[in-house]
Structure 1
Amino acid sequence: MTVPVRVTGAAPRLPLVQRRRVGASGLEVSRLGLGTMMWGAETDAETAAEVLAAFVDAGGTLVETADAYAEGAAQEVLGTLLAKVGRDRLVIAARCALPHGALGDGPARGALLTALDATLVRLGTDHVDLWQLPAFDPSIPLDETLSAVQVAVYQGKARYCGLVGPQGWQLATVAERARTLGPVAIPASAQVEYSLLHRAAEHELLPAAAHHGIGVLAWAPLGRGVLTGKYIGGTPADSRAASPTMAAYVEARRTERASRIVAAVMTAADGLGTTPLAIAMAWVRDRPGVASALVGARDARQLAASLAAEPVTLPAEIREALDDVSAVPQPA
């Protein structure tokens, strides 16, 4: 379901972002989501304020954050901005990274709830709209992890829950078990990497999500920046690939296969009179089951480029051509 966003006040200068339901849940989010991984690190508070204001003015609602981003600084920056943009205009998806040994052994109930309380303090709010948990940990009873969700929802600290990076069988296992415990524990979403360069989610995760009515939040929809074509002639000095902390993150997607896909994306962009970014974004955004595509814009200029993709819809023949050039063999 896609409906126009209604924004009061002055009309935004950028295309209005549309909204979608997350799977079969009642949660509604903008189909373009804003990631905050670089906030408090490469993106300072002033720049983050500009990005968030532009995002909200364009009708964006979904903001993704995590306690591990810049060691909590990203959430602190976001917390300082909530009052300025209006907490009720945002859907905050807070990811709980929770490495082993941090506050206990994996996603135990006490560790999860303690981490959630810390997130709420950093954000300066009494609840998150979507609490995203580690995908699966066989060392912790699943019922215990799900009971943490029940406690958080009943206490009003979380409205919905989701999983980060699950495999298809893990998502299905969690969904089936959650149904026996009550509706509040059923995951509304699964956040996974998904792009023309990385289609592994299609093998099991997307079918499992569709079967269980779970919406997909696609991170790195631009192939970690590779699909924009910026790396065709080398590595720009101001790109993530030039950053010591992010180089490996980008290099993992700079392959010979990627070069062929990027060439096809650029051809499609020329044919439609738009940008490679818009082509790549529209492909992911409109895949079945995707509720929102998350972009980690470092500044207002990058955000504007992503927002400009909002009105782009790929013709069937272009979508099929991109499907073919990026296809990966199904596992045996």
Structure 2
Amino acid sequence: MGASGLSVGRLGLGTMTWGGDVAPDTARALLRTFVDAGGDLVDTAPAYGGGRAEELLGRFMRSDLRRDDLVIATKAGFGTHGGSQVVDTSKGALLDDLADSLRRLRTDHVDLWQVHAWGDAPLEETLAALDQAVSAGMVRYVGVCNYIGWQLGTAAAWQRAVPGRARLVSGQIEYSLLARRAEVEVLPALQHHGMGLFPWSPLGRGVLTGKYRGGTPRDSRGGRDHMAWFIEPYLDARSNAVVDAVARAADGLRLTTAQVALLWVRDAPGVTAPLLGARTVQQLSSLLSVDDQTLPKPIVAALDDVTGGPHLGRE
């Protein structure tokens, strides 16, 4: 993971829908499938299912596999309270979140603890919570999520400025063929500070699977009232053209549209591990099956061009 000593597999398993759209039995099957295929990184958060995702993961580590089989990444500083989304990155709030996460996960430490979002608390206070958690042994490595370029660079430089502070080792942000904004400032900042990248929604919030080409399926996230807002930005004409291009490439390579979209992200410069938010074992197994495959360079170049131009990090 970047310049750190932490190693993870090429793909991560996301748990945002656990305890909500994904039932416990399905979550257990997803985790088992992922680990059996050699995966280890599982990304969760207190905000996922109001803590339910962490609770399920903690239960499965007692009943289905060993704690040492996983690299657990969780977050702090963001949640839903009283029906409203609240960002609180104060030191007290972050450490309270961590204590609750450890209880739900039934473990004495997490491998990667991430600030879920940029908040209003003084940055030095937020980062002091990371230092304290690492010093106390509750956290092995730390990172940030959803920081834009200047925020990430400022936080990373602050942690590097004084020996003994916990260096940031990773950043997590949306990144896919439909969302390449991270290439402008975030990816260069991560590279400069020796940090790894975990792309969330590498399949364009599910749109790059091609399932929305003929409309919005009722059983999709876009067909559900509580998630339609999340999908809608990628149901425009530009996104449709990108999906069509990915589908043509997939047909020629005898892959699925989702597999091509994933391979493009997984092998993009600076990426550590895309986070897979599969909701069924069938979806996950299909994505895991292309572990030993890569896209031909002409296909990569064509997809770069149709989605915004050459990736400056490619050779």
Kindly, what percent of the aligned residue pairs are identical? 50
1:279/1:181 CA distance change after superposition, 3 Å = same
Alignment of 1:1-332 (within 5 A): 22-83=1-62, 84-98=64-78, 106-137=88-119, 139-327=120-308
Whether the 8 Å contact between 1:100 and 1:106 is mirrored in structure 2 is no
SS in 1 for 2:287: helix
**8 Å Cα contact 1:217/1:291 also seen in 2:** yes
Distance 2:16 2:87 in 1: 25
- The 8 Å contact of residues 160 and 184 in structure 1, kept in 2 or not, is answered as no
Which range is displaced more, 175-184 or 293-302? Answer: 175-184
Offset from partner CA, 1:99-124 (integer Å, 9 cap, x none): 5989x982111111111000100111
CA RMSD of aligned residues (A): 1.9
Question: Helix, strand or coil for the counterpart of 2:234?
Answer: coil
In 1, Cα distance between equivalents of 2:126 and 2:275: 26
Whether contact under 8 Å (1:40, 1:73) holds in the other structure is yes
CA distance in structure 2 between the aligned counterparts of 1:126 and 1:44, rounded to whole angstroms: 26
Q: Displacement, 1:60? A: 0.5
Letter in 1 for 2:12: G
Provide Cα deviations, 1:27-55, integer angstroms capped at 9, x if missing partner.
Answer: 11111110001111111111111110010
Residues 48-102 of structure 1, C-alpha deviation per residue, up to 9 Å, x if partnerless?
A: 1111001000000010001011111111111100122111010111021435989
8 Å Cα contact 2:10-2:274 kept in structure 1: yes
Q: 1: distance between equivalents of 2:126 and 2:132?
A: 10
CA contact (8 A) 1:30 1:59 kept: yes
Contact preservation (8 Å) 2:87, 2:117: no
Structure 2 Cα separation of the partners of residues 136 and 246 of structure 1: 23
CA contact (8 A) 2:77 2:89 kept: no
Distance across 2 between alignment mates of 1:118 and 1:276: 39
Residue identity matched to 2:14: G
On the 8 A contact 2:18/2:53 being kept in 1, the answer is yes
Cα 1:105–1:216 change in 2 (3 A) is closer
CA offsets, 1:160-219, max 9 Å, x none?
A: 001010011111101111012335521110000000000110110001101110100000
- For 1:124 and 1:320, locate their aligned partners in 2 and report how far apart those are by CA, in whole Å: 45
Deviations 1:126-160 (A, max 9, x none): 111100103433x4222221111111111111110
- What is the alpha-carbon distance in structure 2 between the residues aligned to residue 24 and residue 186 of structure 1? 10
* Ranges in structure 1 where 5+ consecutive residues have no aligned partner: 1-21
Q: Which residue does the alignment assign to 1:17?
A: none
TM-score, normalized by length of structure 2?
Answer: 0.93
| 1:142 partner amino acid | L
Matched residues, number = 307
Summarize the Cα distance change of 1:226–1:114 in structure 2 as closer, same or farther, 3 Å threshold.
same
Q: In 2, Cα distance between the equivalents of 1:183 and 1:200? A: 33
TM-score by length of 1: 0.88
Letter in 2 for 1:320: A
Look up the match of 1:11. none
Q: Tell me how far 1:233 sits from its aligned partner.
A: 1.1
Q: Show structure 1 runs of 4+ deviating over 4 A.
A: 99-102
Give me the whole-angstrom Cα distance separating, in 1, the residues matched to 2:223 and 2:57. Answer: 26
Question: Which structure 2 segments of 5+ residues have no match?
Answer: none
Maintained 8 Å contact 1:153/1:184? no
- Do the aligned residues in 2 keep the contact of 1:199 with 1:328 (CA within 8 Å)? no
8 Å CA contact 2:177, 2:261 repeated in 1: yes
